[in-house]
Amino acid sequence: MTIITLFILAIGLSFDTFAVSISSGIARKHIVFKEAFIVASVFGFFQASMPVLGWLGGVSIKTYIESFDHWIAFGLLGIIGVKMIIESFKNEEEKQFNPLNPKVMITMAIATSIDALAVGISLAIVEVNMLFAFLIIGFVTFLVAMLGMLFGKKIGGKLGRRMEILGGVILIAIGIRIIAEHFLA
């Protein structure tokens, strides 16, 4: 997997985080840099760790699925992408929450990164340097979370749904690319 594809994957995975970070910025209009840094670090760590966990599970079954692994990667990314798009249309009730509460912060980080677990299985199939993937996914998610909180403070929650849809489309596109690369190779 190329570095560009890893960055695109990281961006696609981080759109849920962006939407939640916007909500966090809306909820805590006076969030300071230190607080935002902590929230973004937790999001980045969980988003980067989940693919590693999925990869560890995926590596152990790779030899059994090599003949159809591209279809698995396509299916997983497609399902996750479609799920993100469908969830973007669900009505969310306005909730007053404190994103700085450690329980809330960790719950949001897990919720926004659980899909990355399945992506990790895909990464085991397409062979990628997981340390590099961990660093890129964590860094991109950290930046996206910081930007999301800033946007939440500045422009509100108007972009959240659009970002989730775009994230889903990106994951589906990466799945299609994996299929195309398999048949063109």
pLDDT tens for 170-180 read 888 888 988 89
Whether the predicted model's global pTM rises above the 0.85 cut: no
**DSSP state letter for 94:** -
Cα Dmax for the chain:
53
Q: What local confidence, expressed as pLDDT, does residue 124 receive?
A: 81
Instruction: State the average pLDDT for the chain.
Output: 83
Q: Which residue ranges make up each domain of the chain?
A: 3-89+97-184
Among 15, 21, 9, residue whose Cα is nearest residue 108: 21
**54-108: pLDDT as tens digits:** 888 877 776 777 778 788 888 888 887 887 788 777 765 544 457 788 988 888 8
Q: Work out the percent of the chain whose per-residue pLDDT is above 70.
A: 91
